[in-house]
């Protein structure tokens, strides 16, 4: 009797029904994230270490690692205005006013 119970238990445990799992389709958000992960991995193929880690982080958040031309121009303008304000030794409200007008031009 014990052997019969053991055999039945083994058969039931190894049956395909025991291994069948409900496979759910990923949600739209999950699919989008998976596609983003694939794309970011392809773009980061030549990067290693901290460079890859920071690139992947930015890429997965939806930020492009490359700075756009508009952003680069704004950054350069900020550097130039900051240098001019430093050369003029401006501080406080004068510096704030100068930086505001410089960055608008």
Give the residue, 85 or 32, on which the prediction is more confident: 85
Q: What is the pLDDT of residues 1-51, one digit of tens each?
A: 667 676 666 666 666 655 555 678 888 888 888 888 888 888 888 888 888
- Mean pLDDT, range 68-75, rounded to an integer: 75
Between helices 92-104 and 69-87, what is the axis angle to 10°?
A: 140
pLDDT at 98 (0 to 100): 93
- Spacing of C-alpha 30 from chain mean position: 14
Structural domain boundaries of the chain? 28-66, 68-105
Cα dist from 2 to 5, 6, 9, 14, whole Å? 5, 6, 10, 18
The pTM (predicted TM-score) of the whole model is 0.39
Q: Which residue, among 105, 52, 53, has the nearest Cα to 78 in the 3D structure?
A: 105
Residues 6 or more apart whose CB falls under 8 angstroms from that of 98 comprise 81, 84, 85, 88, 90
């Amino acid at each position: 009797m014990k052997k019969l119970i053991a055999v039945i238990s083994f058969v039931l445990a190894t049956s395909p029904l025991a291994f069948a799992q409900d496979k759910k389709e990923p949600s739209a958000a999950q699919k989008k994230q998976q596609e983003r992960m694939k794309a970011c991995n392809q773009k980061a193929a030549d990067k290693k270490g901290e460079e890859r880690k920071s690139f992947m982080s930015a890429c997965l958040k939806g930020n492009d690692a490359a700075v756009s031309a508009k952003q680069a121009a704004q950054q350069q303008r900020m550097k130039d205005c900051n240098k001019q304000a430093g050369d003029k030794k401006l501080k406080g409200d004068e510096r704030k006013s100068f930086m505001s007008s410089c960055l608008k031009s």
